[in-house]
């Protein structure tokens, strides 16, 4: 089966998660098809969530301890039924989390909860995250890392840009997959995801049909880290 290996560069900041009775806040991203009409319980209250493909969801709240379960509604024999599609536990003692959903063929999803606290992800930092099933070599500016599946690396990268080059192994040899250049700033925290995908999002129309022009595709979604507005002294 043909597949497209691409980089997903997700830049964001300032979205909080606190595992406490006061509640948590989180965003979610799907590294596959979008997941509409997802539900979870915020305390005893049902909440709805749409998890978009390759971009962040709106900020959502969660109150409670232990794993958080996500459901969707399906129709079976003319009746609507809620089905559990994913379960995840937030990292301990964290204040900010990004939930990364990887949809599966059976309708469920694997979920990773990434710690995005300011201590873990300070301003001006870049996180590399390998969401594929293979080892991937990633070069950002002058730093080169080989990340196993589901592993990450966080590093500071100076403005004004991040030059990304990717490689993966094919028949025992490292093969260049492509690259890209992303703008960066001292007020930006960015996460670069590496995944495998057949998504139409990364294909273009050619005389031979819709195809990916290179084995590596990339996109970026920038967002500045929010800052507190200082109060005027009297």
65-98 pLDDT per residue, tens? 778 999 998 888 788 888 999 999 988 777 788 9
Contact 97, 115 (CB under 8 A): yes
Note the pLDDT of residue 17. Answer: 42
Q: Alpha-carbon distance 133 to 103, whole Å?
A: 14
Note the pLDDT of residue 158. Answer: 76
Q: Alpha-carbon distance 123 to 216, whole Å?
A: 27
Q: Is the peptide bond before 160 cis (omega within 30 degrees of 0)?
A: yes
**Per-domain boundaries in the chain:** 1-13+118-226, 18-115
Note the pLDDT of residue 150. Answer: 92
Extract the residue ranges of the chain whose pLDDT is less than 50. Answer: 13-21, 222, 227-234
Note the pLDDT of residue 88. Answer: 93
Note the pLDDT of residue 78. Answer: 80
The residues with which 137 forms a beta bridge, in sequence order, are 146, 167
- The reported pTM is 0.82
Q: Which fold has domain 18-115?
A: Immunoglobulin-like (2.60.40)
Sign (positive or negative) of CA dihedral 157, 163, 164, 167: negative
Note the pLDDT of residue 86. Answer: 94
Sign (positive or negative) of CA dihedral 25, 31, 37, 43: negative
Question: What is the edge-to-edge ordering of all strands in the sheet holding 4-11?
Answer: 152-156, 125-130, 190-197, 4-11, 216-221
The residues with which 5 forms a beta bridge, in sequence order, are 196, 216
């Amino acid at each position: 089966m043909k597949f497209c290996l691409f980089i997903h560069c997700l830049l964001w900041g300032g979205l909080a998660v606190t595992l406490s009775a006061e509640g948590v806040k989180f965003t979610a991203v799907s590294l596959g098809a979008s997941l509409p009409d997802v539900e979870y319980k915020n305390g005893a209250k049902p909440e709805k969530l749409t998890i978009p493909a390759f971009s962040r969801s709106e900020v959502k709240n969660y109150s409670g301890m232990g794993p958080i379960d996500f459901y969707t509604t399906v129709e079976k024999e003319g009746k609507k039924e809620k089905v559990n599609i994913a379960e995840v536990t937030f990292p301990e003692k964290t204040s900010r989390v990004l939930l990364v959903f990887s949809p599966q063929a059976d309708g469920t999803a694997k979920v990773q909860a990434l710690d995005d606290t300011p201590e873990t992800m300070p301003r001006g930092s870049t996180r590399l995250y390998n969401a594929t099933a293979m080892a991937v070599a990633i070069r950002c500016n002058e730093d080169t890392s080989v990340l196993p599946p589901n592993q990450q690396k966080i590093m500071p990268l100076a403005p004004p840009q991040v030059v990304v080059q990717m490689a993966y192994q094919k028949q025992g040899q490292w093969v260049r997959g492509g690259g890209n250049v992303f703008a960066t700033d001292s007020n930006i925290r960015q996460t670069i995801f590496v995944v495998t995908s057949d998504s139409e999002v990364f294909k273009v129309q050619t005389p031979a049909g819709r195809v990916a022009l290179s084995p590596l595709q990339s996109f970026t979604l920038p967002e500045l880290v929010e800052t507190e507005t200082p109060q005027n002294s009297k």
